[in-house]
Amino acid sequence: MTIDDFNWKILKCLQQNARMSNAEIGRRVGMTSPAVSERIKKLEDAEVIQGYTTFISPLEVGYQLKALITLRAFMGMLKPFLEKVKTYDEVVNCYRITGNENIVMEVVLKNQKHLEIFIDQLISYGETKTQIILSHVVKYSEVKPPTK
């Protein structure tokens, strides 16, 4: 799919505020709302747009800790883990990566006790490394057009 300047402007608006109305987007990019609506639908169909979500503050809803947990899976335990990880409510993001370690997870936790209990659940799958997140320096920065 080709993404022209209009589509990039629409994507910029939607990344900044997914709840912006098509009419408002139209005003900003210089188009009518039916035109915006159709372009968004095509971007969705082409899976350029993969969804719309809301950031909620983990702290405000009762999660005092955020952490990155790296897993080096034991022989034969990676595949079962890849299924299991989907069921953990604590895991907000999970990446499979190259290198000695196989998995990095971003997790939200109520407190240290919760962290301990969560890590205990992982020991059968592999060795873990925990890095507590102190601050979120850059938060879901918008994806911009790559320079050619």
Q: Of 116, 99, 109, which is closest to residue 133 (Cα–Cα)?
A: 109
Q: Judged by CB under 7 A, how many residues of this single chain contact DNA? A: 15
Give, as ranges, the residues between 113 and 142 that touch a second copy (CB under 8 A).
131-142
Q: Does 22 bind DNA (CB under 7 A)?
A: yes
Q: Does 46 bind DNA (CB under 7 A)?
A: no
Neighbouring CB atoms inside 10 A of 69's CB total: 22
Give the span between the Cα atoms of 33 and 47, in whole angstroms: 21
Q: Does 33 bind DNA (CB under 7 A)?
A: yes
Q: Does 58 bind a second copy (CB under 8 A)?
A: yes
Q: 34-67 burial, b for 16+ CB within 10 Å, e for fewer?
A: ebbeebbeebeeeeebeeeeeeeebeeeebebbb
Which residues are at the interface with a second copy (CB under 8 A)? 1, 3, 11, 14-19, 46-58, 60-63, 68, 82, 85-86, 89, 91-99, 101, 103-105, 108, 110, 131-146
Which residues are at the interface with DNA (CB under 7 A)? 6, 21-24, 30-35, 37-39, 42
